Amino acid sequence: MTSATHDAPAHNAPAHDAPALTARTALSLPHTHVDTIFVDGAWQPSQGTGRNPVTDPATGEVWGSVPDGTPEDVDAAVGSAQRAFQGEWPKLSPSERAAYLIRIAEEVEKRAEELSLTNSRENGSPVSESAGAAANAAGIFRYFATLAGYLEREDVRPFPRGGGESVVRRDPLGVCALIAPWNFPINLVVIKLAPALLAGCTVVIKPASPTPLSIRVIIDAVAAAGVPAGVVNLVTGSGRLGDVLVKHPGVAKVAFTGSTPVGRKIAAACGELLRPVTLELGGKSSAIVLPDADLDAMSEVLIRSSMRNTGQTCYISTRILAPASRYDEVVDMVTATIAAGKQGDPLEPDTVFGPCATESQYRTVLEYVESGLAEGARATTGGRAASLSGGLEQGYFVEPTVFADVTPDMRISREEIFGPVITILKYDTVDEAVALANNTEFGLGGLVFGSDEAAALAVADRMDTGSVGLNFFASNHAAPFGGRHDSGLGTEYGIEGLNAYLSYKSIHRKV
């Protein structure tokens, strides 16, 4: 596959700045090669000899490695978690477990700088993004700690016809496999780990192979918080190891965030085993711009809502649906906003757009860019590998790209790209806009931009998706987050996310 080599059409918006990677010259960036996994409360050597390299996507440099784990490693980790589940952890009161969550949050915050730098070197997230990872993770632990009272509240339900009542118990499921992706390698683990621990479960974590080092910082925080040995375990390796973990007979529940194709395989395995599973998968979300939308206000939230983390965010609305009456205005605003964002070294504090996280994803994104051009879409900014514009030759940089004149049948309109690409489609009526937003196999996020909040809410109610933002988008730790259709099964966050780690027992008695 060749990279797109066309010259982007002239436009009034400024061109992307493409500086050399200068931030690294002022930093001492160590190489990190480790030989251990975390089992039974300690860092222990892997039972295999294979290595999983870690590459900085901004430079292409291999700067670290971890064990490419073995089935024996998984056996050891699951066995450790099983023993811990038979021990004191599930017998503690929810309030006692909540106290551990608070201590973990405090320990995570102490490691904020290390966490941010490691995260950015693993997947290229700008430090402006990764700098908030520790605070967000700590916030998740603290939120779930507040739900201890929900678990401790006595739940007695009278028989509808009288004569008896049922005491409803909430029991932890057991050993949980937590499998995370590479785009947000910390918080997409923590949103599983925090409710699992509060529920009384024990866990085995398997991070994505490109991002296995930053999660070790969280494990160190867990250990420093005094969490009993075996409650939290970590194995590293390829997707093959994840498959071993999903199918392990000692696992009681699987929680996975990642691509829809992999999610289907995990769902099939869990269905065969009658094993509970939570899947947060892909998306192709739409932002409906209503005719009365304030485009200046929209521009202020556009990058976070539609190209967060260089477009490598599951819920962002990468399809913008604009009314025909204001189509050119919307195209101009989106183009100018995206083109003004600095692309460069993710370790520079003012960088907005970094590289694609992996070489494979870089090639995938370029393939989508080429398909958009071949099918007649117009790149109003970007549209090629950033190396072609100079200054970013070493890493996996694709210029942030905006496509206008996009039609619903184009691949870039239908398929998840997971990179810095926005498409802008035209609609004539609000009914058509809703139909376009719902004409997808996915259903994860969405946005409605409009000055009349009641009208915007009415449109949001018609969108067939798990979450919708009105004039902005942000996840709420207290509200359920999950996808419909090909975007997943089950929910995370909120009480609903906690319930995913519980099994129910009804004890019936006469009164």
pLDDT tens track for 198-214: 999 999 999 999 999 99
Dump pLDDT digits (tens) for 176-200: 999 999 999 999 999 999 999 999 9
Is residue 420 within 8 Å of 361, Cβ to Cβ? no
CA atoms of 275 and 262, how far apart (whole Å): 16
CA distances from 23 to 27, 59, 463 (A): 7, 12, 43
State the Cα torsion 458-462-466-469 to the nearest 10°. Answer: -30
Dump pLDDT digits (tens) for 285-304: 999 999 999 999 999 999 99
For residue 23, name the pLDDT band (cuts at 50, 70, 90).
low
Catalytic residue among 107, 129, 280, 370: 280
Q: Three-state SS string across 142-201, please?
A: HHHHCCHHHHHCCCEEECCCCCEEEEEEEEECCEEEEECCCCCCCHHHHHHHHHHHHHCC
Residue 482 has which token pair? Answer: 């999950």
Is residue 402 within 8 Å of 381, Cβ to Cβ? yes
The Cβ of residue 374 has, within 10 Å, a number of other Cβ atoms equal to 11
CA distances from 221 to 35, 170, 443, 455 (A): 19, 28, 35, 46
**Domains in the chain: ranges and CATH:** 29-281+486-509 (3.40.605.10), 283-482 (3.40.309.10)
Is residue 496 part of the annotated active site? The answer reads no
CA distances from 266 to 26, 279, 324 (A): 44, 9, 42
Is residue 270 part of the annotated active site? The answer reads no
CA distances from 76 to 82, 383, 393, 396 (A): 10, 48, 43, 36
Catalytic residue among 129, 314, 348, 356: 314
Of 263, 266, 76, 256, which is closest to residue 178 (Cα–Cα)?
256
CA distances from 312 to 107, 297, 329, 467 (A): 28, 23, 26, 18
What is the model's pLDDT at position 94?
A: 98
For residue 30, name the pLDDT band (cuts at 50, 70, 90).
confident
Average confidence (pLDDT) over 478-501? 96
For residue 389, name the pLDDT band (cuts at 50, 70, 90).
low
For residue 472, name the pLDDT band (cuts at 50, 70, 90).
very high
Percent of the chain with pLDDT over 90: 92
Beta bridge partners of 156: 167
Residue 413 has which token pair? Answer: 């309109």
The residue type found at 222 is V
What is the model's pLDDT at position 21?
A: 57
Dump pLDDT digits (tens) for 411-447: 999 999 999 999 999 999 999 999 999 999 999 999 9
For residue 13, name the pLDDT band (cuts at 50, 70, 90).
very low
For residue 5, name the pLDDT band (cuts at 50, 70, 90).
very low
Better-scored residue on pLDDT, 22 or 61: 61
Residue 307 has which token pair? Answer: 């190209």
What is the model's pLDDT at position 16?
A: 41
Q: Three-state SS string across 109-139, please?
A: HHCHHHHHHHHHHHHCCCHHHHCCHHHHHHH
CA atoms of 156 and 177, how far apart (whole Å): 31
Please check the confidence at residue 3 and state whether its pLDDT lies above 50. Answer: no
Please check the confidence at residue 476 and state whether its pLDDT lies above 50. Answer: yes
CA atoms of 309 and 357, how far apart (whole Å): 10
Average confidence (pLDDT) over 143-148? 98
**Mean model confidence pLDDT for the chain:** 93
Residue 336 has which token pair? Answer: 């100018």
Q: In residues, how long is the chain?
A: 511
> Is residue 223 classed as helix, strand or coil in its secondary structure?
helix
What is the model's pLDDT at position 26?
A: 55
**Count of alpha carbons within 13 Å of 485, Cβ hemisphere only?**
16
